[in-house]
């Protein structure tokens, strides 16, 4: 009789432990971050190039390429620059997300490249749809997290804000400057630099350096109407979401990775694909 009671208690304890572990496993699963690698390390699948003066989809002089598993902007096939600014766009649109990238500059700037484009690239955030970019348009309507490298002497902060066909709210004021410096340090040389950006719709943009320091923040990007496809992006309209891109602005650049953590998704805790870190509900994606 005593043995029976003992084994019943053991069985009950095992059941409680089982369900506790299942609960922990479920909680851990819901909090596990599913980062998306936008670059697969092999080819430019899921990316589309656009160069000023050329049709969408043309990778002019094979400028965008993969070298040694690195997403690379290479100008070895060019003689000089004549205004052909380039951009490379990922296929999916995002609204609420974190983005991480690791980049470096290398080599010499292309002949006739603008002085400001020396060791200059950028992460284009909330960019207009690539198919709406005009043939001779230099830059997409977007918000740029500008990536700069030092020249060995002068201060050149990275993770600056550059608004392309947009204005923002910065330090609680309507801000129309094209570029605004962050508080980051300058990175001289060809070392790798890690960055992270938080984007929550149009409510907040925060840039973080490799040590997790918030070096600049702003909000509420609005289309200015200075350029671009006004049919799709009328002046005064709020930029709530968009595409992610990188640049080809005359200086060779490499990216080891570009990753995105989508913060939009199913927020119903009963769903199998619920994530505790989602901040923007998309219940159409719920799976049960």
- Per-domain boundaries in the chain: 1-32, 35-265
Residue 97, pLDDT score: 98
Residue 112, pLDDT score: 98
DSSP letter for each residue of 216-257: EEEEEEEE--SSS-TTTS-TT-B---EEEEEEESSS-EEEEE
Residue 6, pLDDT score: 46
Residue 5, pLDDT score: 52
Pairing of strands 280-281, 264-265: parallel
Residue 215, pLDDT score: 98
Cα torsion 52, 58, 62, 63: sign: positive
Residue 230, pLDDT score: 74
Q: Are 88 and 246 in contact (CB under 8 A)?
A: yes
Consecutive 10-residue averages of pLDDT for the chain (288 residues)? 49 48 56 95 96 98 98 98 98 98 98 98 97 95 97 96 96 96 97 98 97 98 85 91 98 98 96 96 93
Residue 161: strand, helix, or coil: strand
Residue 14, pLDDT score: 52
Task: For Cα atoms 75, 77, 79, give the angle at the middle one, nearest 5 degrees.
Answer: 85
- φ, ψ for residue 196, nearest 5 deg: -145, 145
Residue 198: strand, helix, or coil: strand
Q: Which CATH superfamily is domain 35-265 in?
A: Exo-inulinase; domain 1 (2.60.120.560)
**How many Å apart are CA 66 and CA 43, to the nearest integer?**
6
Q: Which residues of 224-248 are buried (b: 16+ CB within 10 A; e: fewer)?
A: beebbbeeebeeeeebebbbbbbbb
pTM of the predicted model as reported, rounded to 2 decimal places = 0.89
Residue 39: strand, helix, or coil: coil
């Amino acid at each position: 009789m005593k043995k029976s009671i003992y084994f019943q208690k053991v069985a009950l304890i095992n059941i409680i432990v089982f369900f506790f572990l299942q609960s922990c496993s479920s909680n851990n699963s819901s909090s596990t971050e599913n980062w998306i690698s936008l670059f697969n390390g092999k080819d430019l699948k899921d990316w589309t190039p656009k160069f000023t003066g050329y049709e969408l989809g043309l990778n002019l002089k094979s400028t965008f390429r993969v070298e040694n598993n690195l997403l690379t902007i290479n100008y070895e096939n060019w003689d000089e620059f004549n205004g052909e600014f380039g951009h490379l766009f990922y296929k999916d649109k995002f609204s609420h997300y974190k983005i991480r990238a690791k980049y470096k500059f290398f080599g010499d700037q292309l002949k006739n490249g603008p002085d400001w484009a020396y060791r200059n690239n950028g992460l284009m955030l909330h960019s207009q749809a690539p198919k709406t970019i005009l043939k001779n348009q230099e830059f997409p309507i977007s918000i740029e997290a500008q990536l700069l490298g030092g020249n060995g002497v002068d201060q050149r902060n990275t993770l600056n804000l550059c608004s392309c066909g947009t204005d923002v709210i910065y330090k609680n004021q309507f801000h129309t400057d094209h570029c605004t410096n962050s508080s980051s340090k300058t990175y001289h040389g060809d070392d790798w630099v890690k960055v992270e950006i938080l984007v929550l719709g149009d409510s907040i943009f925060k840039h973080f350096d490799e040590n997790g320091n918030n070096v600049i923040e702003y909000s509420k990007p609005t289309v200015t109407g200075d350029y671009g496809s006004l049919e799709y992006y009328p002046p005064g309209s709020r930029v709530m979401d968009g595409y992610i891109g990188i640049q080809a602005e005359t200086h060779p650049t490499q990216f080891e990775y570009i990753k995105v953590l989508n913060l939009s998704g199913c927020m119903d805790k009963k769903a199998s694909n619920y994530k505790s870190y989602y901040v923007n509900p998309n219940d159409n994606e719920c799976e049960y």
